[in-house]
Chain A
Amino acid sequence: MSQFGKIVIILVSMVLVDNYPLAQFLGICPFLGVSTDLDSAKGMGVAVTFVMTLATIVTWPVQQLLDKFGIGYLQTVVFILIIAALVQFVEMFMKKNMPALYKSMGIYLPLITTNCAVLGVCISNIDKGYTYAESIAQAFGGGIGFWFALTIMAGVRSRLVDQSRIPKSFQGVPIVLTTAAILSLAFMGFQGMFG
């Protein structure tokens, strides 16, 4: 298969089959926390996609460096360090040079610093033995998938959770978790595609 074909398959499968929150259960906290309305879901989705891609661009070469010295097992520690520093740096950069973007993305950026989905994508790039281009495709697809899941969740929540009377014992977190579980079951239907 051509390189391009591979990348397209990675992109699609990251959005549908290996969707981070719904199929791999990574990044659940922002998935439940920021999915209350479509506006914040959009802000968070864009920010996660951006940070995931950026983090992969930086961490993949670092892994090559670690492997060279034979300490590839330290990837988790090093990646956390790098991602945290990177997000801080990007935040400062945006605050100065892109105030409008900072205003729309600003509150969500610090939330992502220690997001497990971001660390997850960086480590899974290495585990799957992807090339640089494939890794970036996986990170971008993962971000889009996260955004996609977040948007669906926010849509469902604003309709179902806020506009209908829910039994008292189900209000709040229980109904949100139930919704997430059903969404996740629906995404199980994609399992095995593009395998």
Chain B
Amino acid sequence: MNTIVIAIVLVSVIGILAGILLSYASKIFAVKEDQLFIDLRAELPGANCGGCGFAGCDDYAHALADKSLNTPCNKCAVGGPAVAEKLAGILGTNAGDTERKISFVACNGTNENAKKLYDYKGVTSCKAAKTLFGGVESCLYGCQGLGDCEKACKFDAIHVCDGVATVERDKCTACGACVAACPQHLISLKPESSLVIVQCSNKDMGKAAMAVCKTSCIGCRMCERTCQHDAVHVTDNLAVIDPEKCVNCGACAEKCPKHCILNLSLKAKKVEEKTA
């Protein structure tokens, strides 16, 4: 009987002591958490992907709560416009321009289109392959197709299909992980509304570009001449479309002799026709 009493008393005493110590400590060591921070953090998705450029959601919320920093509230790539609006509501500011962005791979060098330089059997990494004679593709600018971007993507949105990385536009959250991972710098974030995009990064002169890939941009300026909105320009032997001026008419994509300009609106139409 006595041992039970001793056990109960001793364990309760230790428990109560610990409780008192903790409640006392929580007062002494209390760090004032800004109510603003708590509200902001609650709205963020908590994926901690770092797409906003801060070290996780907590860090971003801290930066937002500190109004002197004037951090824009549309940085969260995962939450998108919905979260940006909520954050703006809490902060009492304008949500700003939050058009959704999507990763785009500027290469169409599929196994069929692009010539391989050699048969690569090393570590499955684009970075590693690039150290060997500038990469497995004979095109120095092309996609290595070894999936560094695929491994970097946390959202299962980019995959290597037929030797070229391809983005699943629905799944992409524009966190920019693949942009950083690609050693060829082929991937960039494009606004969702730009549907006509140059799918090549080759800056070689026409003949050299033609030799390495069936769909390389040869810098012939056909697109530049076709465009009625002054949106396409060839710089460094590569066509570049200005998304601000482009109206997605797709005229350049039609005229391109090498078919290296992609018209996504056509693709979408085809899918619609198929499903209809």
Hey, which bits of chain A sit against chain B, CB under 8 A? 62, 65-66, 69-71, 74, 77-78, 81-82, 85, 88-89, 92-93, 95-97, 162-165
Contact = CB atoms under 8 A, between A and B. Distances in A.
B137 to A, nearest CB: 19
Contact of A93 (B10, B15, B29, B124): B29
A74 B7 contact: yes
B1 interface: no
B14 A89 contact: no
A85 B22 contact: yes
B21 interface: yes
Contacts of A89: 21-22, 25
Contacts of B6: 69-71
Interface in B24-76: 25-26, 28-31
Interface of B: 3, 6-7, 10-11, 14-15, 18-19, 21-22, 25-26, 28-31, 123-125, 151
Which of A62, A65, A71, A82 gathers the greatest number of chain B CB atoms within 10 Å?
A: A71
Contacts, number: 54
A149 to B, nearest CB: 25
Contacts of A97: 29
B21 A163 contact: no
25 contacts: A62-B14, A66-B10, A69-B7, A69-B10, A71-B7, A71-B10, A74-B10, A74-B11, A78-B11, A78-B14, A81-B11, A81-B15, A82-B14, A82-B18, A85-B21, A89-B25, A92-B22, A92-B25, A92-B26, A93-B29, A96-B31, A163-B124, A163-B125, A163-B151, A165-B124
Given A74-B7, A81-B14, A95-B31, A88 B125 contact: no
